[in-house]
Structure 1
Amino acid sequence: MKIEHYISQLLYRHQCVTVPGFGAFLTEIQSAHLHENTNSFYPPKKVISFNSHLKNNDGLLANHIAQIEKSTYENAVASIESEVVIWNSILQVNEKFTLKNIGELSLNSEKNLVFTPSENINYLKESFGLNSFVSPAIKREQYKQEAETFYKEEFVEEVAVEEKETIAFEPEVRKKRSYLKYAAIIVLALSATGSIGFKLYQDHIDQETLLVETAVQKQVQNKIQEATFLIDNTLPTVTLTVTSEKLSYHIVAGAFRNEENAQNVYNDLLKSGFKARRIAPNKHGLFPVLYGSYATNAEAQEAMTKIHETNPDAWLLVKAL
């Protein structure tokens, strides 16, 4: 039985899918991001990782296979064990193999499992239909430089024209005029008096009009500055509700058929300094006891490393309690 198809189905809905006796595939949401060098935009996605230390059977994969295949839980567990034997055999011979739509598993020089996730599929349901795309760069700076160059050239040309058109004034050499020339000038001045007087009168009218308009504008500005804007309807009060951080990652110390044994282990963990918890019995009638609960997978993995030094059978439960 090829179980990678069932693992792929579960990765859409769960953050951790454990293959008993082999390891666990974990997912973490990555926000949308931009690759600046290529101007590429990528939608949000689930990033898949692999942890070879999480091998305990949490029942998720076996129950899913049993439900889909309409078989018993025991037959599903047996099918998983058989597939794990095949995977290990392939690794010993080829040192790598690929799980469709999940990724590639290989052995490094130290014979440790290395996982390379597949980029062909996005397990984040909220990003369905969103693909990456490349946006051409906007050349604002280039246009700005071209505009500056244009205005500089225009300015240089104007300055050159002004320099060429500079008029040199030479002082007038006054000469003695005869009385006849002065008489002719007086006659011309008298003939022009009418037009000059009208021009002075028109200038006076324009000046008076400008003074009136300036005074009116000043009064309008004073009224605007003195104006008071009133808001009749006050804005509604905003109430902020602070919610506590969800702790969805739990390290399980064990699940006990006898509740008294579960309570004894719980008390021992509290004495050892752990923030131990007891949760409701599972569907098999067992009483789980937790070392503690954590907000992120990274915190849980860090705590798991220390706990495995004294209890290698401890395992990670990903569930909103």
Structure 2
Amino acid sequence: EITVTPEEKEEKTKRPYLQIAAAAAFLIATGFIADWKYGDEMETKNSLTDNKAEEFVIQEASFDLGVMPALTLELETEEIAPAGKYHIIAGAFRYEENAEKKMALLKEASYKPSRLGQNKYGLHQVAYFSTNDAQEALQKLREIRANDNEGAWLLVKNMK
């Protein structure tokens, strides 16, 4: 007959705190090494940047431009609405460019046109002539209607 007896195994003492301590020591050492290498890299980059900044300062140049020629400016002046109460209107235009074209045409035709600005409808008004004398305004209006523009009309408004 065979007798079976269980073998007794040697019990190992479990010490998990030693494993945790070893892992922590490894991580801390790795962190210190990484920080040291990062510090070296940053120091190298900073020294390169400082060198480039010094080179930039050294490379600054100054120029002697000598005497500059006189500068002549031509300014566009806008026609100022004449002070007057009676205005013979050549046209009222939605677009300012069209008002400018009309002004040029009237100047070519020997008139002394003026821009009266925008009316309450947003139209740019151009006048053939402006005066404070009602009789003179009516006389000019008749002449303009007879010779140039049947659609001309009289605006009675103080422009100041």
Q: TM-score, normalised by structure 2?
A: 0.46
Bigger RCO (CA 8 Å, 6+ sep): 2
Q: TM-score, normalised by structure 1?
A: 0.23
Larger Rg over CA atoms: 2
- Which structure is higher in strand share? 1
